[in-house]
Amino acid sequence: MSTALREAAKAGELTAEQREAVRDLILVLADSKRLLGMRYGNWMLGAPELEAGIACASMAQDEWGHARLLYALLKDFGEDVDALEHGRTAAEYRSIEALDAEPGSWPELVAVNAFVDLALTLQFEALAESNYLPLRQRVQKVIEEERFHAAHGAAWLRRIAASGDEGHEAMKTAIAAITPIVLRWFGPDSNRANAIHDASLIDAVGSDMRSRYVERAAALLRDIGGAGAFGDLEPDFSTFDEATRRTPGTSPDERTITQIRGDRNREFLMD
Amino acid sequence: MKHEPAGNGVTMDHEQDARAKHRNKAVLDASTRTTHELRASDSPRDERYRSDDPDVDVLWRALCEVADPELPVSLVDLGLIRAMRRDGDAVHVDVTFTASACPCMEFIILDIRERLMQEDGVGSVTVLDVWDPPWHNDDMTAHARALLKSFGVAA
């Protein structure tokens, strides 16, 4: 391992390689948080109970808050934050592929809550001691707020599993679709990943993240009697773009991105 | 030190985003909103939220008169004001929020600026949002807890 970098108060203090990798990671996380907020938000009025709908509203608000904290950081990397937030097409989004489509049922949303939100939180935990100070200073707040999301996801997971009806099957099918995407999303142990790991900008490379995820997700799966839903622990990265953490040519649905951009709201701007 | 120094230059665009400010001008105009009237003299001093420098301490007192937009409690008593510095006529305030998606951020920042600009010798106010350490219930003063209890909010 090379010598650890000293603390960086600004992105300009990182090497070009580190800067690009950290910037890409922040954008991937920000876009994923934004999409996840939309997915939660759409269930504010469709959840099976009033309390669950309110929880979705609250989680959506948190996710958008986290996205805002992250987008704001990208100014330090010379980005036009307003253009990033409001000027991109669906094809330019870097959100995790497991959020590309709207969950079609409540059990599918619960699968997202428990298994996609977990992946994002684990990635934040790996940044809790980052040498890039502005990021580290924001991570703890995110992790604290995520505890409630994890508790909500786990509680509903068990509840749906205990019901034993078709909702349980729908949830298991959704989990089986999510986990391989997440395991690949953590990325290969590449030179790029090692460059930021060696500089203590992050405390894990892809394989570490996969181990952590499997450990935490397995505990959830045990609770619902559905072990063995993981895909290959050595994912196929042949179509994987490390910068976007996606397969090129894929994207979230355009309708959702139009809503996120706020195209229709712009008609009401008081310019 | 409990609070890491701010000033890494990374903050939300409170100053520069003129367009957003313009867009929200009507809703953000403090004079059109009802806020709770607070007097600094009603707020007992908490050792954490004062300064030995009288020129800075007067600013802490001033913010004891700025209520949270949703509660009859000052921003100081809530523990949202993390630090204040004076550099000539420029004042720098580090502020945190109870939640990362606090819907009142812009209100709070405008209220801080408006109140501090009324103090003698203050020519500009820069507000920096800080998140480390995250806000916690313990950051509230005993006075804030008592007020919230009387207001029916669990604290």
Angle at A157 between CA A151 and CA A161, to 5 degrees: 150
**Residue B152 pLDDT level (bands cut at 50, 70, 90):** confident
Query: Which domains are delineated in chain B?
Result: 18-150 (3.30.300.130)
Q: A145 and B4 in contact by Cβ < 8 A?
A: no
Confidence (pLDDT) at A40: 98
pLDDT at position A90 is: 97
- Kindly report the nearest CA distance between residue A55 and chain B, in angstroms: 14
Q: How far is Cα B102 from Cα B71, in angstroms, rounded to an integer?
A: 13
In contact, A251 and A91? CB cutoff 8 Å: yes
Is A37 a residue whose pLDDT tops 60? yes
Average pLDDT of the residues in A85-96: 96
**Structure confidence at residue B53 (pLDDT):** 96
Percent of residues, chain A, with pLDDT higher than 70:
94
Confidence at residue B153, expressed as pLDDT on a 0 to 100 scale: 78
pLDDT at residue A165, rounded to an integer:
84
Q: Give the pLDDT band of residue B154 (cuts 50, 70, 90).
A: confident
Which residues in chain A touch residue B103, judged by CB atoms under 8 angstroms apart?
61
DSSP B19-73: HHHHHTHHHH-GGGS------GGGS---GGG--SSHHHHHHHHHHTT-B-SSSSS
Helix axes A133-163, A50-73, angle to 10 degrees: 160
Provide the residue ranges of all domains of chain A, joining segments of one domain with +.
Answer: 14-263
Q: B109 with B95: CB under 8 angstroms?
A: yes
Mutation choice for B interface testing from A40, A75, A80 by most B CBs within 10 A: A75
d(CA A69, CA A146): 14
Which residue does chain A place closest to B11, by CA atoms?
Answer: A72
Architecture of domain A14-263 in this structure: Up-down Bundle (1.20)
Residues on chain A touching B26 (C-beta within 8 angstroms): 270
- For B100, other C-beta atoms within 10 Å of its C-beta total 25
Give long-range contacts, CB 8 A cutoff, 24+ apart: A247-250.
Answer: A247/A97, A250/A97, A250/A100
The tokens describing A229, both together, are 């839903």
- B8 by DSSP, 3-state: which? coil
Per-residue pLDDT at B57 exceeds 50: yes
Write b or e for each residue in A178-190: b if 16 or more Cβ atoms lie within 10 A of its Cβ, otherwise e.
Answer: bbbbbbbbbbbbe
Residues of B in contact with A270 (CB under 8 A): 22-23, 25-26
Neighbours of A85 (CB within 10 A): 19
Tell me whether residues A140 and B133 touch, CB distance under 8 A.
yes
- What confidence tens digit (pLDDT) does each residue in A152-185 have? 999 999 999 998 888 999 999 999 999 999 999 9
Q: Give the count of beta carbons closer than 10 Å to the beta carbon of residue B128.
A: 20
Amino acid identity for residue B39 in this structure: R
Tens-digit pLDDT profile for residues B58-106: 999 999 999 998 888 999 999 999 999 999 999 999 999 999 988 888 8
